[in-house]
Amino acid sequence: MTSLDVSTNSSTSLAPRSTQSRLFAWLWRHRGSLFFVGLPTLLAAIYYLLIAADLYASEARIIVRSPSHLQVSGLAGLLQGSGLSRASDDVYAVHDFILSRDAIDALQKKIDLRAIYNRPEADFLARFPRLPHQDTTEDFYRYYQSRVDISFDTTSGICSVTVKAFRPEDAKAVADALLDEAEALVNRLNQRATTNAVHDVQVEVDDLERRAAEAQQDLLAYRNRETLLDPGKTSGAIFETQSKLRGELATARTRLAELESSAPSSPQRADLAGQIAALEQQVGSQGSRLAGSDSSMAPKIREYEMLTLRQEFASKELTSALGALESARAEARRQQIYIEPVVSANLPDKALYPKRLTSILIIFVSCFLIYSIALLLLAGVNEHAQA
């Protein structure tokens, strides 16, 4: 073998070694970025492109309304319709309920929610339980919130509910069940509002009915005790009788005076005198029946008028309270809230999640930014230490 051949073989064997060395040198020089940026991105790509299970999303849109005569313009006015307006406070109540533990408990009574999110096609990071979660109620509650999303558009008043699941029919079933439970919540709110609005007025009406019945019973007892239906009318009759007697007495006295003037010795004089005495006694008796003693009509009229006034006042109060009760019931009915579906839950035919490329890009950008900031901070610390 010549020296030329030896030189050629040596050059050929050193070339791959030089390239390999440069590659290792480059990897070592960029070991930080490769480990903190490249490796997470590679793992994310492997997971999202090869492992991650498809998630189907079923979306429903509802609007919560309450009766109102308020007029608004724009899209909100078109959505109100028939004098109905959005009940924003109640929308937030529905929002909180859908994402609550109570909603999970209600759904569990209808469908096996945990089985839905532990399907065979689910991957090890997407199913429940998953690392670092355990099979506990609290961990499932946090997992549930990652699979159910609800948003509220304050402009239109439309509330959107999105449910993600590993099967299309599961997503639709959960969305439908959530809407049913939300409507049940609204019905409970209606019932509570009606009860609270009417309860206080109903208590007052019951008290006034009792007082009116007592006043009527006292008046009836008085009439039975005194054997008088209306002392006022009886007194009027007595007074009318007394007036007639007074007229007859005045006539008799006039005739007696004329007789004494014209015929003092007439035998009719004694009869007239007797008649006058009888009339005077009757007039006095009728007067004593009207007033002058505890058994006369005056104190009876006073007691009767007090009882009558009490009974009339109780009746008027009861009538007013009954009107207030009807108004309270009408107002309670008018303030009821309703859930109206704008878009029913759909049966998805295509998996929209996970957003594979978007997720990989987000992980890459996040790792790059974190690593860059860490390098800047480390450079600042080193510079400060050298100074």
- 95: CATH: 3.30.1890
Distance CA 208, CA 99 (A): 46
Structural domain contains residue 37: no
Range of the domain at 136: 49-199+337-367
Same domain, yes or no: 57 and 192: yes
Alpha-carbon distance of 140 to 151, in angstroms, equals 21
Q: What is the mean pLDDT of residues 349-355?
A: 92
Rounded to 10 degrees, the C-alpha dihedral 76/80/81/84 comes to: -150
Q: What are phi and psi of 59, to 5 degrees?
A: -115, 135
Instruction: Judge whether 81 lies within some domain.
Output: yes
pLDDT in tens, 127-185: 998 777 788 999 999 999 999 999 988 888 889 999 999 999 999 999 999 999 999 98
- Residue 315 sits in the same domain as residue 343: no
* Residue 80 · residue 86 · CB < 8 Å: yes
In a domain, 32, yes or no: no
Q: Say whether both 152 and 278 belong to one domain.
A: no
pLDDT higher than 90, residue 51: yes
Beta-carbon contacts of 194 under 8 Å, excluding residues fewer than 6 positions away, are 329, 332, 333, 336
Full-model pTM: 0.61
Is residue 193 located within the same domain as residue 211?
A: no
Residue 359 domain flag? yes
CA distance 227 to 193: 51
Structure confidence at residue 82 (pLDDT) = 40
79 part of a folded domain: yes
Give 154's DSSP letter: T
Residue located via tokens 């480059």:
26
Does residue 147 share a domain with residue 236? no
Residue with tokens 């505890």: 294
**Strands 338-343 and 148-152, how do they pair?**
unpaired
Please name the residues in contact with 98: beta carbons below 8 A apart, sequence gap of 6 or more.
148, 150, 161, 178, 181, 182
Burial of 144 (0-12, 13-18, 19+ CB in 10 A): buried
Residue 101 shares a structural domain with residue 140? yes
Q: What is the number of structural domains in the chain? A: 2
